[in-house]
Each structure stands twice: as C-alpha cells, then as structure tokens.
Structure 1
Amino acid sequence: MQRPDLLLVAALLHDVGKGYPGDHTEVGMRLIGPIASRCGFPTEDAEVLSRLVEHHLLLPDIATRRDLEDLQTIRTVAEKVRTVDFLELLAALTEADSIATGPTAWGDWKAYLVKTLAEGTADFISTDGSTRRKRRSFITDQLEALMAEEETVIQGSGDTVTIVAPDRAGIFSRAAGALPCAV
C-alpha cells in the first residue's frame, strides 16, 4: 500500500458526518477537506480522503447486491475508483470499517465478495478490461458447450464447485442441500 497514512486518517474520519443532519457521507465529504488542510495534508491528499469518505460504502454495497461476473458491474466500480492505488486504500478501509462495526458486518462470505470485486476491478483497471473480457468469454463458451450436452456435470476444485444442469424445478435447492454432504 502506497499511502498507509491516508488509510489511517480515512479510517478515523470516514464517518465524521454522522453527528450532523443529512446523509453522513455527503456531510463527511464537506468536512474532510478543511480537516485535512488543518492537519497539513496537501490538496491532492485531501481530495483522496474526500473520495474515500464518498465511496466508503461502495465495495460492500456493490459486492453484496450485484453480479460480480458482470463486466458492467466491474466497469462501474472502476470508473469510480479510477486507480489501483485508490482501490487498495478503499478495500482496506472497507475491511477495517466492517470489522469495527461488528461480527455481523464482516464475515468470510462478505470478505470473499469484496475481495472478488476488488480483484476484478484491479484487473479491469490494469488491463483496460481486456483480460477479464477474454476470461469471461472462455467461461461462457465452456459452459455453453456443457449445457448443449443437456446432462448434469459437476466439477470441483478447492473451494469452487461448478454445476451445469438442465433447468428444472428444485435444481438449486437440491444442489445446495448436497453441498454439506460433500465436505
């Protein structure tokens, strides 16, 4: 991480707007600039802090509500974060904020979702999306070939299970019910 000092200040002040009327994020964005200036941060750093306050809920909101394999989801996050350095700060702030909120706000599943979103976004920013498009195309082609066979195919590797089956009522519940038996 390039700027742990900005992470620490953002962790301390990202919710500074909660003590005022209105949306705490919007209020916090207005307050953080003058605070950063009084602390001796240059304008560029104050802007980074303001953006961290603005987007401190972005990763968990998107990760838990959107399709993380959808290129448009990744593109939306990439447009907001702009750089991998900022994304690293935001991901660390997200984890720290969620852990500090309590055990119900951060667990293995949410950590996995946020990490998946952050990695996909970093890849998109670093490669302008070309690697992700190729990977997504491969997955789609492979799955379409399996679906054309109209047989149930189950593949597993580590903590990933891929199930391809013809659409029928109850398929998801049966598959989900079988997973604990496989552990």
Structure 2
Amino acid sequence: MELQKAILTDITELRKICIDAYSKNFYNHWNEGGLEWYLEKEFNVERLKSDLLDKDAEYYFIKRGLKNVGFIKIRNNTNKDLNIENAVELEKIYVLPECKGMGIGKTALNGIIKKAKERGSGNLFLCVIDTNMSAIAFYEKLGFTFHSKTILDIPYFKEELKGMNRMIKKLDGKKPVANNV
C-alpha cells in the first residue's frame, strides 16, 4: 500500500475512485436521490479542481500495487469555531469494500499521521457517524479520542445517521482533553 498525492492532471482518475469508494460504502445512508446529489456536489470536476488548487486541501490516492483502492482528503483546520489549534482535518477516508480488513486503511491513516507530523501539525481530527461503532473502534485503536458531538447538516442524508462524533489525535504525544459540547 502506498499513498500518492493527487495533482490536477489526476482529476479524472481521482473523480472515479472518489465516486466508486464513497458510493460503494455509503449508498444506504441516503434518502432517495441523495446519493446522486452528493456525488455530483462533492466530486464534480470543478469541485475537485478547486480542492486540488486550494493550498489548504490535499487528496491522496490509496494504492495497492497499481490499483487505486481508496482515497484520503485532508484539510488544514480553517474552522475557527472548533477551537483546535494547529490542526489538520481528516475530511475523507474511503477504501473500496473489497479491500477492507486487509490493513490498508490503517496503513494509509498512519501515513497521513506521519505527513501531518512532518509538516508540524499538533492535532489531527475527524468526524465519524456516532452509530458507526466499527469506524469509531478503528479510530480509537489508532489513538483518536472523543472530542465533541456535532450534527451533519446535509440534505437527503438519513436523519438517524446525522449524529457525529468529533475525534482527535494529538500528534505531539500529549493526551487530549475531551470537550463535551
């Protein structure tokens, strides 16, 4: 498994793996018409181009051999309301379902943690659906702890899945303090 940073000339390939990995994992999280709406909103060529040109965002292909088996999107923390200093957000990490259970997600996330540390970030945070116990356990095994609750504010997403846990991993070795907001 390796991480390969996506660049503008990769946009077609990036769009394909984004749509494949996301839709195969979360097709059942949407009300009718929602998945198609979301895929077009998040992964259209203009949006991906904008993200790839944004100095605060990075996409990485998760590769197994020559094949793209997932992707990661990270973003420098631009959310001042969150009050997490020197942070990078793991905005998206999706691996094709047929590649789950092979250690690919863990290896990829450890690669992103290493990259975040190398650039001097002190914290890595993410949001995860609060009923997705397997994902929460996965992040906890990698050293993430609960930070706070939030609600996913997006149309067409099933109401019962909108609760989100914010989780954080201190990259400087200090234990984070939970914020029960």
TM-score, normalised with respect to structure 1: 0.29
Please tell me whether Structure 1 or Structure 2 has the larger radius of gyration of its CA atoms.
Answer: 1
Higher strand share: 2
Higher relative contact order (CA 8 A, sep 6+): 2
